[in-house]
């Protein structure tokens, strides 16, 4: 493919070692970044990771141009053509077409499972206190029940079947965020009776692609405390 030389630079949320963007640093708490990098790992596409300081993205003057105004992480540069791409759904589809040898499917064709789980159901639960909280927790559990039922009915290790697919890679970092952020902020734990969901996440967490792309949980805890604070103020 490229003798291991990077074909892409993927710009992900992180703590850059120096400045606002750097090739060295620590991974931050972005499930969309994690999902994009996992896709490249699973498809064995060589890439270089670039860490972007999300909290000061407004100070990066070229960001608007390369993301068509979206100003969101992740985004990537194709080194052969110098073209920029953004949005994890788009990037996953793009490389699935360009590197078809190891198929993982596309977000628009894979099973559409768990769409309401994150951020919708989780954010609503996270930001509701008092009398409304119980109902929001039940709504979140109902979304998890859909995943449980799907996995049980399909009797397969992954959403797409016997191997990891793009739905698994989109959903697993989000579920991890709910587990870690929900516990830290609300003391939430998904009951062990959701055994298919727990087994599925454990299976994914044991893969090398997950281990290479999962940030330290302390960033998830910190990030969800911050997000709740921001939401409660607005």
Ligand X SMILES: N[C@@H](CCC(=O)N[C@@H](CS)C(=O)NCC(=O)O)C(=O)O
Peptide bond into 121 cis (omega under 30): no
- Comparison of 88 and 151: residue with beta carbon closer to ligand X: 88
d(CA 147, CA 153): 10
Q: Which is nearer to ligand X, 73 or 165 (CB)?
A: 73
Among 32, 47, 85, 150, binds ligand X (CB under 6 A): 32
67 binds ligand X (CB under 6 A): no
Q: Which is nearer to ligand X, 39 or 209 (CB)?
A: 39
Total binding residues toward ligand X, as defined by CB under 6 A: 11
Q: Determine if 88 is a binding residue for ligand X (CB under 6 A).
A: yes
Q: Does position 13 bind ligand X by CB under 6 A? A: yes
Pairing of strands 75-78, 84-86: antiparallel
Q: Is 14 helix (H, G, I), strand (E, B) or coil?
A: strand
Query: Applying CB under 6 A, does 214 fall inside the site for ligand X?
Result: no
Residue 77's beta-bridge partner residues?
Answer: 9, 84
Q: Given candidates 78, 87, 196, 222, which one binds ligand X under the rule CB under 6 A?
A: 87
- What single-letter DSSP state applies at residue 158? B
Tokens 């990891």 belong to 164
Separation between Cα atoms, residue 171 and residue 32, nearest integer Å: 10
Annotate each residue in 151-190 with x if it binds ligand X (CB under 6 A) or - if it does not, as one string. ----------------------------------------
Q: Does 220 bind ligand X (CB under 6 A)?
A: no
Among residues 96, 86, 77, 89, the alpha carbon closest in space to that of 35 is found at 89
Applying CB under 6 A, the residues found at the interface with ligand X are 13, 30, 32, 54, 71-74, 87-89
């Amino acid at each position: 493919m490229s003798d291991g030389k990077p074909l892409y630079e993927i710009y992900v949320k992180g703590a850059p070692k120096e400045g606002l963007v750097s090739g060295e640093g620590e991974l931050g708490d972005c499930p969309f970044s994690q999902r994009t990098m996992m896709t490249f790992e699973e498809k064995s596409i060589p890439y270089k990771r670039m860490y972007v300081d999300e909290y000061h993205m407004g100070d990066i003057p070229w960001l608007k141009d390369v993301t068509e105004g979206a100003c969101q992480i992740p985004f990537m540069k194709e080194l052969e053509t110098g073209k920029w791409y953004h949005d994890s759904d788009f990037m996953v589809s793009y490389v699935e077409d360009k590197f078809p040898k190891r198929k993982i499917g596309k977000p628009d064709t894979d099973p559409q499972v768990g769409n309401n789980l994150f951020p919708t159901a989780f954010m609503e639960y996270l930001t509701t206190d008092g009398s409304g909280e119980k109902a929001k927790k039940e709504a979140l559990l109902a979304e998890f029940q859909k995943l449980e039922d799907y996995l049980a009915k399909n009797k397969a290790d992954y959403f797409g079947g016997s191997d990891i697919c793009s739905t698994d890679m989109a959903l697993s970092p989000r579920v991890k965020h709910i587990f870690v952020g929900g516990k830290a902020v609300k003391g939430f734990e998904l009951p062990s009776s959701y055994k298919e969901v727990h087994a599925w996440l454990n299976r994914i967490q044991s893969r090398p692609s997950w281990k290479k792309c999962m940030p330290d949980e302390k960033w998830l805890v910190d990030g969800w405390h911050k997000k709740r604070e921001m939401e409660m103020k607005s």
